[in-house]
Structure 1
């Protein structure tokens, strides 16, 4: 049972194969409040550039695209998820409004001050170097841009069996401290789920 839990946990961090596809569908359901909370917090238009980190099967990308009508970028470490996200968003990609890449948020292949908005839902647990990832996000964000990072509480995550290995768990306050170390001067913590779900909003 322990090995099964660890395997499921690894799929959440790097979805692959049919199990990865199933895990992403599960995440779409259990993370719905977080996706909606992030999108509802954003004011987007078609002239803005938006980056989603850890796009999975493209569910969040689709919501961002529908709200802004384009200029959506995504980075994920899973080749299988790029295929799934490309299928889900093929019309936006064909229009040249969505651009998906494979990569690591700790080594973003974008120029300084590229994006107006950056989003991420439940990916920070898996970053190899959390501070470096936040520094990279800070670097590619425009001076008046914002980063919205949705996470579960540390306590909530600790109650689940699959987070025992391969997850770095943080309180929202710990993430806020790291964000300030990365250079963000405006950091706001918003409770969107009765003490279990949060959005950490970071601005320069």
Structure 2
């Protein structure tokens, strides 16, 4: 694995600087089917509370707010992405409906049963502790709440040069087992692009 590939892979896990901004724009383009899948499956009202894990440049936050005007929260480890996402969603931020913060999804600073919906697109590969992150999501979801976890398949990820370091790889069965371990009562998987990407829907 070249140093350049390793550097690019690290940018997908923690976007920063000009290269990080460019990587996020690329992700917005190549992940459009994933964003559409999430937005079309979610049903919210203006009082609902949503958490987006790894909001990046705020693309999904923007889409959800435009459609539902709900209360959108976000957590990301990149200070640079917080600045970009806040700028992109300035209207919602100024209106008190969008709240973006820096942090780790394994340590969510929210009360129990706070969110109606939690979303994550291509972040779970980078979590320090997969089960702990899922436990935190479960804790902060209301009864009946849903976590939409959107990912690429293990086979597809493993063929990319920049994923050979810093990425964790999971099979569909792993996501189901993790969800059962933390207490989710209903877990379903929906294909986005057959053999390439899918969405795991966890219902509390």
| TM-score normalised according to structure 1 size | 0.98
Secondary structure of the structure 2 residue equivalent to 1:192? strand
Q: Distance in 1 between matches of 2:67 and 2:90?
A: 17
User: Which deviations, in whole Å up to 9, do the C-alpha atoms of 1:107-126 show, x marking residues without a partner?
Assistant: 00000000000000000000
Residues 44 and 70 in structure 2, CA contact (< 8 A), matched pair in contact too? no
Residues 188 and 202 in structure 1, CA contact (< 8 A), matched pair in contact too? yes
User: Which deviations, in whole Å up to 9, do the C-alpha atoms of 1:4-63 show, x marking residues without a partner?
Assistant: 000000000000000000000000011110011011111111010000000000001001
- In structure 2, the residue matched to 1:150 is 150
Residues 46 and 69 in structure 1, CA contact (< 8 A), matched pair in contact too? yes
- In structure 2, the residue matched to 1:194 is 194
- In structure 2, the residue matched to 1:26 is 26
Structure 1 portions without partners, runs of 5+: none
Residues 53 and 74 in structure 2, CA contact (< 8 A), matched pair in contact too? yes
Q: Distance in 2 between matches of 1:2 and 1:201?
A: 36
- In structure 2, the residue matched to 1:174 is 174
- In structure 1, the residue matched to 2:118 is 118
Residues 54 and 121 in structure 2, CA contact (< 8 A), matched pair in contact too? yes
Secondary structure of the structure 1 residue equivalent to 2:70? coil
Count of residues in correspondence between the two structures: 204
Secondary structure of the structure 1 residue equivalent to 2:193? coil
Structure 2 portions without partners, runs of 5+: none
CA RMSD of aligned residues (A): 0.8
Secondary structure of the structure 2 residue equivalent to 1:145? strand
- In structure 2, the residue matched to 1:16 is 16
Secondary structure of the structure 1 residue equivalent to 2:101? strand
Q: Distance in 1 between matches of 2:173 and 2:93?
A: 37
User: Which deviations, in whole Å up to 9, do the C-alpha atoms of 1:70-114 show, x marking residues without a partner?
Assistant: 300000000000000001000000000100000000000000000
Q: Distance in 1 between matches of 2:124 and 2:172?
A: 11
After the TM superposition, list the runs of 4 or more consecutive aligned residues in structure 1 that deviate by more than 3 angstroms.
none
- In structure 2, the residue matched to 1:45 is 45
Shift of residue 66 of structure 1?
1.1
Residues 134 and 179 in structure 1, CA contact (< 8 A), matched pair in contact too? yes
